[in-house]
Homo-oligomer: A and B are copies of this chain.
Amino acid sequence: MKKKVSLKDIAEKLGVSIALVSYVLNNQKEGRIGKEISKKIRAVAKRMNYQTNQIARSLKTNKTYTIGLIVGDISNPFYSGLASIIEAEAEKNKYTVIFGSSHEDADKYRRVLETLMNRQVDGLIIAPPEHAEPGIKRLQKQGVPFVLVDRYFPAVKANYVILDNYDAAWQGTKHLIAGGRKRIGMITYKTQLFHLIDRKKGYREALKEYKIPFTNNWLKEISISNNKSDIEMAVKELLSCNPPIDALLLASNSIANHAVKYINTLSIKVPEALAILCFDETESLDLFYAPLTYLKQPLYTMGQMATNILLENIRDGNKIRQVEINAELIIRKSTERIT
């Protein structure tokens, strides 16, 4: 790579000090610098194609204008959608984003975090994996600005922007019950992540509220590594309960993906014999003969709020903002009332 031009190069060419060039190019001390020289400096900078060395500036100012983003996996549409929004919002504010994927592994997460911290990010947006709680507490003790998205830890008083997962699951379950369903199964992940525990609770509480006796074999918890056959097995078991379930709540888009594709191969009819309701959007299931009712996460709002809360925090400090956004229940054919 060719040597880049520095302030010094410009200063020498014009026989002025580096400081002066810096002031001009940063529009500082406006009015107190000679118009002539100022114009010349700008002209030379432009001609030589000067570009600020942000690294040097950062070292001096202790600000990198960089946000670290840690997600489960950037190739998951939920996270890539979020990343896209965060990037756009950051860019508006002159921030750049560096990202890393935790792959839902606490160790990998720690390594990514360390790398981002070494790079002196000004703050972080994090969708933490299981077992990250101690690390999050440590971050907080260090006074690093950060905001959690999608996931949170009730025992940690930190910024977060999440779905009101309890309420979402509650509303979803209620919708199924209102549609005449009596035996409602759920497939979710076996995990200690609170946002998923909340979904489970919302489901259980709604059943209780509407006096539907829950039985243990209605709830299937699969490994978060989430393989197809586990999900198919869960569906199969739920359908062979005696009596079989007549409605199914799916706790994530990837669960819905595999479950619905499998159900599509069976003879059971949706929504007549089985209603389906899932979390997140599932574009990949749009061609299913009974389009799915789902609990929509307001991605745009989440990304934007997370970014702005972070930037606010970077600027001035330590009021904590905890935001729970309501899901939007998008009702389609898969949960049509049975008559």
Contact = CB atoms under 8 A, between A and B. Distances in A.
Nearest to A122: B1
Given A96-B119, A260-B287, 7 more contacts: A74-B74, A74-B84, A76-B80, A77-B77, A87-B100, A261-B287, A284-B286
A283 to B, nearest CB: 5
A96 to B, nearest CB: 6
A291 to B, nearest CB: 10
> How many copies make up the complex?
2
B54 A56 contact: no
B84 A101 contact: yes
B80 A117 contact: no
A2 interface: yes
Contact of A58 (B55, B145, B287): B55
Report, as a range, how many residues of chain A touch the other chain: 35 or more
A54 B264 CA distance: 52
Interface of A: 1-2, 51-56, 58-59, 64, 66, 73-77, 79-81, 83-84, 87-88, 91, 96-101, 114-120, 142-145, 260-261, 264, 283-288
B284 A55 contact: no
Nearest to A69: B99
Contacts of A58: 55
